[in-house]
Amino acid sequence: MAGQRIASGNAELISLRADNNQPTGYRFHQASIAEVDAAAQAAARAFSAYCQTSAEQRADFLAPSPMNLDALGEEFFAFATQETALPLPRLIGERARTSGQMRLFAELLRSGRVHGARIDCALPERTPLPRPDLRQYRVAIGPVAVFGASNFPLAFSTAGGDTAAALAPVAPWCSRHIVAI
């Protein structure tokens, strides 16, 4: 959190193999209420600084993520298969989808279309009522919390499109992965 590894919660989550319910050897601390609050506060502080970055800087920030994800090999897939019981082709496809989403958001930033600017000019002669001049664009209003999805552990989880969608338009994020034991 904010560049620090924190695990002060008392409850531990034990990673289990999905195929036989045996431990994988990994344990995770469940975040305490204080840690969740601190993460939200850290994201709120980061929001101010991240808002000052240009679209190009945000694209550069996102760019390494798909390359790093694509570089994950056998060890990653072996563990992901154990923990999810998803077949290897599904995980390979999901990795490609996730890295593709990251690349698309970086392209969206570089293209300038990330704000979705739209202008509908006034139509004063329109009947039965005139249409006013309408202008619209997307703007980030604060940090985003991404809760991990277990049905798509990559594409729709803390590493996937939800996080990229938050980071592209200027929103720091807090990740909270839900694990059932």
Neighbours of 159 (CB within 10 A): 23
Tell me the whole-structure pTM to 2 decimals.
0.74
Residue 70: per-residue pLDDT: 94
Per-residue confidence band for 170, with pLDDT thresholds at 50, 70 and 90: low
Instruction: Please provide the average confidence, as pLDDT, over all residues in the chain.
Output: 83
Domain boundaries defined on the chain: 33-176
**Is pLDDT above 50 for 181?**
no
Q: Of 78-92, 123-137, 153-167, which range is least confident?
A: 153-167
pLDDT at 149: 60
Local structure of residue 112 (DSSP, 8 states): T
**More confident of the two residues 117 and 162:** 117
pLDDT value at 178 more than 50: no
pLDDT top residue among 81 and 163? 81
- CA dihedral sign of residues 66, 151, 145, 34: negative
Tokens encoding 82:
């154990």
Amino acid in position 15? S
Percent of the chain with pLDDT over 90: 30
Using CA atoms, how far apart are residues 168 and 54, in angstroms rounded to an integer? 10
| Arch. (CATH architecture) of 33-176 | 3-Layer(aba) Sandwich (3.40)
Residue count (the chain): 181
Mean pLDDT value of segment 4-16: 83
25: left (phi over 0), alpha (psi -120 to 50) or beta: left
